Amino acid sequence: MSEQRRGQLRVNEIFYSIQGESRQAGLPCVFVRLTYCNLRCRWCDSPYSFYEGQWMTVEKIMDEIAAHNCKLVEITGGEPLLQKDVLPFMTRLCDAGYDVLIETGGHMDIAPIDGRVRRIVDIKCPGSGEADKVRWQNIEQLGPDDELKFVIADEADYRWAVDMLNKYGLDKKCAVLFSPVFGEMDNLTLVQWILRDRLPVRFQLQMHKYIWAPETRGV
């Protein structure tokens, strides 16, 4: 990614739906999906966000969000932290009274994010092909309102995630979520492993993929 436009963000889509993941699952939410990602996770479900999108002023984005009359807003991608102007944009949302979430891939520095924003940070397991990109320094930035998410493809991913959970004491930092790769990791098996090992984690499904067809955009 080389192009940046001051006071603008490149937006892939803005839509109103329910939260399909995180501790906010099931709540109405406005999603702002930004363009660009510098990871290529093997199981990525939004590769269209790598390149597709249009430049929009922050004012225009704010207007579109306001039109939905919903105070919960999530910034996602792609990787939203690749666009520098997302930082003041999130602050502006917070100042306007929105409850703001950001979902980030875990390889970018989260320290500059406004402290009022709840951060959902992916920890990429080996099955993603991007585990070597994890920025472990982010763990020290996490607070009780934040979340860590492991997307698990198989038993090797699960065992690795448990090792990281224990090594860094992640459940003492914030909520930890274990999510199966949709259509690949058996839900029941992952639940049984979590119960067997008495893990202090939350099992999570991508709820929206069970409501709409898994490939549906804008939900």
Domain CATH for 84: 3.20.20.70
- In the chain, what's the furthest Cα-to-Cα distance? 51
- Is there a domain that residue 217 lies in? no
Q: What CA–CA distance (Å, rounded) separates 96 from 133?
A: 34
- Is there a domain that residue 29 lies in? yes
Q: What is the pTM of this model?
A: 0.93
Angle at the Cα of 174 from the Cα atoms of 65 and 113, rounded to 5 degrees: 45
Residues with Cβ < 8 Å from 170, sequence gap 6 or more? 139, 148, 164, 176
- Is there a domain that residue 115 lies in? yes
- Is there a domain that residue 1 lies in? no
Question: What is the domain range of residue 182?
Answer: 8-211
In this predicted structure, what is the pLDDT of residue 198?
A: 98
- Is there a domain that residue 86 lies in? yes
In this predicted structure, what is the pLDDT of residue 22?
A: 87
- Is there a domain that residue 108 lies in? yes
Per the structure, the count of domains in the chain is: 1
User: What's phi and psi for 83, nearest 5 deg?
Assistant: -100, 115
- Is there a domain that residue 124 lies in? yes
Please list the residues that pair with 121 across neighbouring strands. 104, 148
Beta strands in the chain (DSSP E): 8-18, 28-34, 54-57, 72-76, 99-104, 118-123, 147-152, 175-180, 202-203
- Is there a domain that residue 218 lies in? no
User: What's phi and psi for 47, nearest 5 deg?
Assistant: -65, -20
Please compute, for residue 41, the number of CA atoms within 13 A of its CA located in the half-sphere on the CB side: 29
pLDDT tens-place values along the chain, 219 residues long = 556 777 799 999 999 999 988 888 999 999 999 999 999 999 888 888 888 999 999 999 999 999 999 999 999 999 999 999 999 999 999 999 999 999 999 999 999 999 999 999 999 999 999 999 999 999 999 999 999 999 999 999 999 999 999 999 999 999 999 999 998 999 999 999 999 999 999 999 988 888 887 777 777
Question: Among all chains, which residue has been given the structure tokens 């004491």?
Answer: 169
In this predicted structure, what is the pLDDT of residue 2?
A: 52
Report CA dihedral (19, 31, 13, 150) to the nearest 10 degrees: -60
